[in-house]
Amino acid sequence: MNTGYVNLKQQVTELIGYIRSMLYPEIFGEMGYKSTEALNSEAHSALCDMLATVCEEDTNTRDLADKFFAKLPDIKALLDTDVQAAYEGDPAAKSTKEVMLAYPAFEAISIFRIAHELYEQKVPILPRMMTEYAHRTTGIDMHPGAKIGPYFFIDHGTGVVIGETTTIGERVKLYQGVTLGAKSFAVNPDGTLVKGIKRHPDIGNNVVIYAGATILGGNTSIGDNCVIGGNVWLTHSVDAGSTVLAAHERNEIISKEE
């Protein structure tokens, strides 16, 4: 029987366990040792129940759940690249299994990839609950609306914030304390905040952003192959191939050609 919102947090946590067990049964056994068919059936039923709670009454919850589960191979393919990026990008990583079991970044990114697909299908509430569960667990705050390419790695991770309208390209590496946030909030004539506009930065391919850097604004773009140093504060775009360092309380931009 559907109990409404009362047990929704617990149900979201259980659904994450189901899905990660389906994606990596040899690694995650949150839901016990069950056959693929049993896991799929229970996960599908659980998602349908939650969709019935959060969606409009006329929503075809079974069709929506089917569309989500059809995307699981794509989600796994992306996560496989994230695991590889962590293993290749951290000399302390001894194996991909260590990355999956011990790294808070993989915990957060794996939940984000699941939540992002539900967000893309315009499922209300559940995607945000998923990423906030990851936030509580890991200290990494990733809005499910962000668009993040393959081979994504967050080293250490605590304090990272990635806003809803952020886009991140391929092979991007972030360190702890990085904020990809909004510079300011547009306001309607009645004083309420304008929603649904681009507020967060765009990060190109092959970018490294070191600890404590803050990059703000929907018009801020970091070009491909850039390096953003620790504690840098940026509210303007940076050309491809640049290195940005914080020095004497100002930003120094160094072109790789120099």
Residue 253 belongs to what domain range? 146-258
pTM for the predicted model, two decimal places = 0.91
Among candidate residues 89, 111, 140, the one where a domain is terminated: 140
28 lies in the same domain as 155: no
154 lies in the same domain as 113: no
Q: What is the domain-level CATH number for residue 254?
A: 2.160.10.10
3 lies in the same domain as 121: yes
126 lies in the same domain as 160: no
94 lies in the same domain as 3: yes
Among candidate residues 98, 125, 140, the one where a domain is terminated: 140
Average the pLDDT over 175-197 and give the result.
91
Give the pLDDT score at 38: 81
| 1-42 pLDDT per residue, tens | 445 788 999 999 999 999 999 999 888 875 555 677 788 888
84 lies in the same domain as 192: no
174 lies in the same domain as 115: no
56 lies in the same domain as 158: no
Query: DSSP readout, the chain?
Result: ---TTTTHHHHHHHHHHHHHHHH-TTT--TT-S--HHHHHHHHHHHHHHHHHHHS-TT--HHHHHHHHHHTHHHHHHHHHHHHHHHHHH-TT---HHHHHHH-HHHHHHHHHHHHHHHHHTT--SHHHHHHHHHHHHHS-EE-TT-EE-SS-EEES-TT-EE-TT-EE-SS-EEETT-EEE-S---B-TTSPBP-SS--S-EE-SS-EE-TT-EEE-TT-EE-TT-EE-TT-EE-S-B-TTEEEEEETTEEEEEETT-
131 lies in the same domain as 181: no
Among candidate residues 140, 175, 207, the one where a domain is terminated: 140
136 lies in the same domain as 153: no
9 lies in the same domain as 134: yes
Domains of the chain: total: 2
80 lies in the same domain as 5: yes
| 56-109 pLDDT per residue, tens | 999 999 999 999 999 999 999 999 999 999 999 999 999 999 999 999 999 999
